[in-house]
A and B are shown apart, each in its own frame.
Chain A
Amino acid sequence: MAAFILARLLTLLPVLCGVSVVVFLLIHLIPGNALQMFLGTQVDMTPAQMDELRRLFGLTKPLPLQYADWLGRIVRGDFGVSLRTGRPVLPDILARLPVSVELTLLALVFALALALPIGIASAIRRGTAEDAAIRVGGLIGLSIPNFWLATMLLLFLPGRVLPIASIGVYVRFFADPVGNLTVLALPAFSLGVVLTAVLMRFVRSSLLEVLGQDYVRTARAKGLRERLVIDRHALRNALIPVITVVGFQAGYLLGGTVVIEEVFALPGMGRLALNAIAQRDYPVVQGVVLVIAMLFVLTNIVVDVLYAYVDPRVRYR
């Protein structure tokens, strides 16, 4: 198992390098130049002074060298300083990380809690009116933009329920668990609906596929009750690939937090990035993008390992 994990980590190394190159180049994509952005239009400088600053910031070196310098600092945990506050970027990002991660996890839990039973019921009742209704519901769930759903909930939920949606009063989980979950309930729901639809559809088709397998026929032929056939033989095998889908969809959730945090005014990483974009505070934007991408890559390593753990065949491929 350790060898498997190590092998997975090694294959991800080039991907992580690529990710860092993309994030580094984002700043160099900026029309005009980052230094001018940093100084703003108020500051008048002689060309000589500009050159001096460029040399100071290491901007006169060739791009690959600049990248190496930058990567060296990132690896040591130095993500640069905010152009607005002058504070180091990383601590500010890490302070907001728990909000986004919690929102992501809650949405995932919500989606799994709903998608598994509904998907299973849909597959078992294949071809009935309920199944048809569930399939249509799934397609609709897949099509609703999360930020619109969130907006509609804020707009139309009756006052009795609305305290749940009280905006901008985020409390940390460890300070006040109930208050924290109350605030995050609607955001997590808005974020989780699409994932629910995706997982539900997947569970349905995966279970249907397994139900057509020989060993399920054998189980039925030997007189096993249908309930046991499903529980013991079909479900276990049908649910394994769901792990992979969750891994893929983690990207949807992590990207979605940016939008959902904005709608509900939650103090997460996404909103930090959006504010930074509005203020042209590029080191902060760069930092958040890098951290979220690394989270996503990390999630997929965890998913791979989980998968290898549940399905031993993978380890020997």
Chain B
Amino acid sequence: MIGPPAAPRPRVRPAAPPRPRPTFAVRFLRTPVAVAGAVIVGGYLLAAGAAPVLAPGDPLAMASQALLAPPGGPHPFGTDQFGRDVASRLLYGARVSLSVSFASVLVALAVGGAAGVAAGYFGGALDGVLMRSMDVIFAFPAVLLAIAIMAAAGTAVWTIVAAIGVVYTPQFARVSRASALAVRGLEYVDAASALGAGTGRILWNHILPNIAAPLIVQTSLSLSLAILTESALSFLGLGTQPPTPSWGNMLAESRRFMALASWTAVFPGAAIALIVLGFNLIGDGLRDLLDPRLRV
């Protein structure tokens, strides 16, 4: 076959590239603390998602022949005072507790993040009004404010989400305001503005990526607080209402029978502690990873 000879490859040896900075995923995987947390949280999410498959039984089905049955056999975590399977209730409870917590932190992140960016970027009177309102929320002990809101607004699922969301909004506002304020004065923002970028574009493309790190850390830490708050509310009878299982109301219901059946009190609390630990581990790991200034 005749044809033009292939052009010889230029034999230029490229200069050894500078060793690329490992990607975020790689650095995350090299942080044992964060990985441990991710494994725990991932495990919970899987378990909650697969609850219908994993659960040994119906979380609401009562069985009069197996009241307060100890762990073992068909009931790996025992049964409660109505003969309901504790393991199944824990799994379905995970769905409730996790989705309420995620939803409420999402609310706090959206509202608080937006308020903080607006306050930090625009400053002036808007800053004053927004941050003073945040100070007001901050002036209440978190659990107390959540209790008060639940007492006034009733115990629907969305009120739980709103109550916990409101309570943790100021932290997000403060974090994002501080970051937006720090970034606002930098040259590249001026440059973008000089090039004719609109406010929305500057906020989205230039401010947001630079405040993402502290917001992510805050999200992880707030998730642990949201889980604790949801379970405290449910424990007090002001959160998720029976018979829908949540870890907090399981613990509350167990109190009258726990002397006879310690497992009904041990497992729900352990479930809360472990997932909270998971979020705290991720939060600590991410903080070391994303915000070197805070590393010690």
Which of A's residues lie within 8 Å of B, judged by CB? 14-16, 18-19, 21-23, 26-27, 29-31, 139-140, 142-145, 147-149, 151-152, 155-156, 204-205, 208-209, 251-256, 258-259, 262, 273-274, 277-278, 282, 285, 289, 292-293, 296-297
Using Cβ atoms and an 8 Å threshold, which residues of chain B touch A156?
262
Contacts A143-B277, A209-B296 given: A148-B269 contact, CB under 8 Å? yes
User: Are A296 and B262 within 8 A (Cβ)?
Assistant: no
Complex formed: what's the CA distance from A147 to B254 in Å?
Answer: 13
Q: Is B2 an interface residue (CB 8 A)?
A: no
Using Cβ atoms and an 8 Å threshold, which residues of chain A touch B273?
140, 143-145, 148
Using Cβ atoms and an 8 Å threshold, which residues of chain A touch B280?
139, 142-143
Closest beta carbon of chain B to A93's beta carbon, Å? 14
User: Which 4 residue pairs spanning A and B have beta carbons closest together?
Assistant: A148-B269, A18-B136, A255-B141, A255-B143
Could you list 22 A-B pairs, sorted by A, with CB under 8 Å? Answer: A14-B132, A18-B135, A26-B149, A26-B152, A30-B153, A143-B274, A143-B276, A145-B228, A145-B231, A148-B251, A148-B273, A152-B269, A156-B262, A204-B296, A252-B141, A253-B141, A254-B144, A255-B141, A258-B143, A277-B238, A292-B140, A296-B139
| Secondary structure dominating the interface of B | helix
Q: Is B182 an interface residue (CB 8 A)?
A: no
User: Are B140 and A293 within 8 A (Cβ)?
Assistant: yes
User: Are B235 and A139 within 8 A (Cβ)?
Assistant: no
Given contacts A151-B269, A285-B151, 13 further A-B contacts (CB under 8 A): A26-B152, A140-B273, A143-B273, A145-B231, A148-B273, A151-B251, A155-B258, A255-B144, A258-B143, A262-B236, A274-B147, A278-B237, A296-B140
Q: Is B224 an interface residue (CB 8 A)?
A: yes
Closest beta carbon of chain A to B98's beta carbon, Å? 15
User: Are B148 and A289 within 8 A (Cβ)?
Assistant: yes
Using Cβ atoms and an 8 Å threshold, which residues of chain B touch A31?
153-154
Q: Is B266 an interface residue (CB 8 A)?
A: yes
Complex formed: what's the CA distance from A242 to B273 in Å?
Answer: 26
| Most chain A C-beta atoms within 10 Å of own C-beta, residue among B132, B147, B231, B274 | B147
User: Are A145 and B135 within 8 A (Cβ)?
Assistant: no
User: Are B140 and A145 within 8 A (Cβ)?
Assistant: no
User: Are B152 and A27 within 8 A (Cβ)?
Assistant: yes
User: Are B224 and A15 within 8 A (Cβ)?
Assistant: no
Q: Is B255 an interface residue (CB 8 A)?
A: yes
Q: Is B205 an interface residue (CB 8 A)?
A: no
Complex formed: what's the CA distance from A255 to B167 in Å?
Answer: 12
Using Cβ atoms and an 8 Å threshold, which residues of chain B touch A285?
148, 151
Residue of A nearest to B137 (CB): A22
Q: Is B48 an interface residue (CB 8 A)?
A: no
Residue of A nearest to B277 (CB): A143
Contacts A26-B149, A259-B143 given: A151-B255 contact, CB under 8 Å? yes
